[in-house]
Structure 1
Amino acid sequence: MIEQFTREIVQLIQNLPPVSIYLVFFLVAYFENVIPPIPGDVLVAFGGYLAAESVVGLIPILVLTTVASVLGFMSMYWIGHRWGAQIEQKQKGVRVLRFIPVKYLNKVRLWMQQWGVGVVLANRFLAGTRSVISLAAGLGHTRISSTVLCSTISSVLWNGILLGFGWVVHENWKLIGEYLSIYGKVILGMVVLYVLIRIGIHYYRK
């Protein structure tokens, strides 16, 4: 389903004028933070390929995807800040909560208690946890200025890397999706291992 969505977006972009292409990338980068299944990273890499083909400008794409990523992050931050209690209690009365991944929320909150906004700084590199991190940041009422700054730095670095790879590998940009999948599994494995180690240490000390 995700692959089909990616193909459809790519086909759409290839038939659009440059101005509309920028808009599509902005929307993809924004909603990728709000609706995690959207394959925003692969499409950003495709943007690097388009920049190499001089269809769009590399810097404008980087700026737009970064701004959209930060806006998406802060949108989820606002949801966490506004409906934090309902999210934790999993109340069904708030419709927007049905689309919020709360499974790992408590774990991410523990990370933030230990590393603070450093988790926000690393959020773009932590595949599968981005929307949860932004929710946890809002729930924890982290300072907005620090949150925006760290989110911006993280987005600039991550999007810059993806665009650079898309530029370098050129027409083989789809391979980046395969490597991102492997990367995501490695990150997930490391997170699970870390949690297990912390649990083991906790019981050992007891």
Structure 2
Amino acid sequence: MAGFESTLEYLLDWVANLPPILVWLFFALSNLTENVFPPWPGDTVTAFGGFLLARGKIGFWSLFTSTLVGNLIGAWLMYSFGHHLLAWLKHRNFPFKAELYDEEAIQKTLNWFSRNSVIVVVFSRFSAGIRFFVSIVAGMVEMNPILFFSCFSIAVSIWCGILIYAGHYLGSHWEIVVEFLAVYNEIISILLVSAGIGFLIYRHKNKSKTKAP
């Protein structure tokens, strides 16, 4: 992990000396990558963008549009993937399909998502742990693309705006944002896991009551 952090630090130092157009492309690519490869620290890079903004290396609108465009392209790729994934799961045979593919459970999940799609899409942007999956599920349920990308754009604008402002405000101490994100994501992960366990327990109890004479 330390090796990755030092590599990332070197990469960010290198980016700081690039021409403006390449800086724009870097931040767009970073946000795209985060949507298709969750381990990539996209939020950290965006906060660093706020630091570069404070140093005058990139303008606000350039940084903002690069993060928005990158996120939208990445979300579109995952949405398209999800759109084709459900049909593939239904009609293709693959190892351990009987154990891994439960059509009834998947359909219940998709129905729940359809009922709460707007809220889920908006709030997923504020959690690194689930934002990757939400675009895929939105494609699986064929959520209205205009509605999906509108909600997604609003959420990206708010979240990335916060990160950019924080990085700009803290200047050379922008790494404090990264420390905050680590704690924030840990808390969100614990809450999500707790909610998931609670849901499974609730579902198990309901099944037991249904089967009882």
TM-score, normalised relative to structure 1 = 0.85
Matched, 1:165 2:169: no
Q: CA deviation at 1:53?
A: 1.1
Asked if 2 retains the 8 angstrom alpha-carbon contact of 1:31 and 1:38, the reply is yes
Q: CA deviation at 1:90?
A: 9.2
Matched, 1:178 2:179: yes
Q: Distance in 1 between matches of 2:109 and 2:188?
A: 14
Q: Distance in 2 between matches of 1:108 and 1:52?
A: 44
Q: CA deviation at 1:11?
A: 2.1
Moved more, 191-200 or 29-38: 191-200
Matched, 1:196 2:197: yes
Q: Map 1:111-190 onto structure 2 (within 5 A).
A: 112-190=113-191
Where does structure 2 lack aligned partners over 5 or more consecutive residues?
96-105
In structure 1, the residue corresponding to 2:69 is in which secondary structure?
helix
Asked if 2 retains the 8 angstrom alpha-carbon contact of 1:29 and 1:69, the reply is yes
Q: Map 1:84-99 onto structure 2 (within 5 A).
A: 84-86=86-88
Moved more, 187-196 or 151-160: 187-196
Pick from 76, 79, 89 the counterpart of residue 78 of structure 2: 76
Q: Distance in 2 between matches of 1:124 and 1:116?
A: 13
Change in Cα spacing, 1:138 to 1:4, as seen in structure 2 (3 Å) is: farther
Q: CA deviation at 1:76?
A: 0.4
Q: CA deviation at 1:193?
A: 1.3
Q: CA deviation at 1:88?
A: 7.5
Pick from 23, 26, 44 the counterpart of residue 25 of structure 2: 23
Where does structure 1 lack aligned partners over 5 or more consecutive residues?
94-105
In structure 2, the residue corresponding to 1:126 is in which secondary structure?
coil
Asked if 1 retains the 8 angstrom alpha-carbon contact of 2:122 and 2:151, the reply is yes
Aligned match of 1:98: none
- Equivalent position amino acid for 1:162 in 2: L
In structure 1, the residue corresponding to 2:128 is in which secondary structure?
coil
Aligned match of 1:56: 58
Q: Distance in 2 between matches of 1:111 and 1:69?
A: 25
Q: Distance in 2 between matches of 1:25 and 1:116?
A: 28
- Equivalent position amino acid for 2:32 in 1: Y
Q: CA deviation at 1:24?
A: 0.7
TM-score, normalised relative to structure 2 = 0.82
Aligned match of 2:98: none
Question: Please, what is the CA RMSD of the aligned residues?
Answer: 2.5
Larger Rg: 2
Q: Distance in 2 between matches of 1:110 and 1:75?
A: 22
Asked if 2 retains the 8 angstrom alpha-carbon contact of 1:80 and 1:87, the reply is no
